[in-house]
Structure 1
Amino acid sequence: MKILSQRLREAREKAGLKQIEASKLLGISNGTLSGYEREYRDPDTDSLHKMAELYGVSVDWLLGKSTSSSEKDTSPPEPMSEQDTVMFRNWKRMTEDEKQEALNVIHYILYRKNTDNEDPDQKE
């Protein structure tokens, strides 16, 4: 599936992750992730879902079944809290490198939260 390999790489790069960083967060070898991105192998369903979660995209988009990388949310946006406002103000003052580092931390926290909530009987 050429589209899958292309979109896996594109999503990882847009998430600001190097292959080695993503493979560590996903709990797979760098060679395995490289194989997915180079169309040498296809990820299993669990790995596909983990990559979609880590990269912040939908599985449908990764598989080429959607042109939008994320599900459309038609609900009205929530008003920003005071904490959101403070974070946004500080974000605007950060350098691009600092922003990328902050995004990497956020991706890691969300990934860890997702894996901590999984059924322990389904983990390898």
Structure 2
Amino acid sequence: MAERTLRGARLGGQSFEDERGIEFAARQQVGYKCPQNHEFEITMSIEAEVPAVWECPRCGSEALSVAGIKPEDKAEKPARTHWDMLLERRSEKELEDILKERLELLRGGEIGPAHLHRENKKRTSA
């Protein structure tokens, strides 16, 4: 039975591969500095596009590149209000007509809070 036992390596043990003949990719050190003056370097490939911002490993804030690479300004859309969205669906003339129609219904007692309907009924019957 001992002859059939499989032998293996423990997890995290030594590698059986050899580094001879392997050419590593060219690398560069990129420096960053956060607003709290923490300075650190990240190792990157020379072929990699270097980001302007990197998260600081100490405090987690955004650190800027020491090499002077500026972050891209994001084009922000102006905030759309309810009025803007309403104007996309209807013209101001249409809105004025709808307002007049609804005001007439409200004043006539056909729509609106229940207490307004009762008062109109009392006035008309008296």
TM range (shorter): under 0.3
Larger Rg: 2
After TM superposition, the score normalised by the length of structure 2 is 0.22
The structure with the greater share of residues assigned to helix is 1
Higher RCO, Cα 8 Å, sep 6+: 1
After TM superposition, the score normalised by the length of structure 1 is 0.22
The structure with the greater share of residues assigned to strand is 2
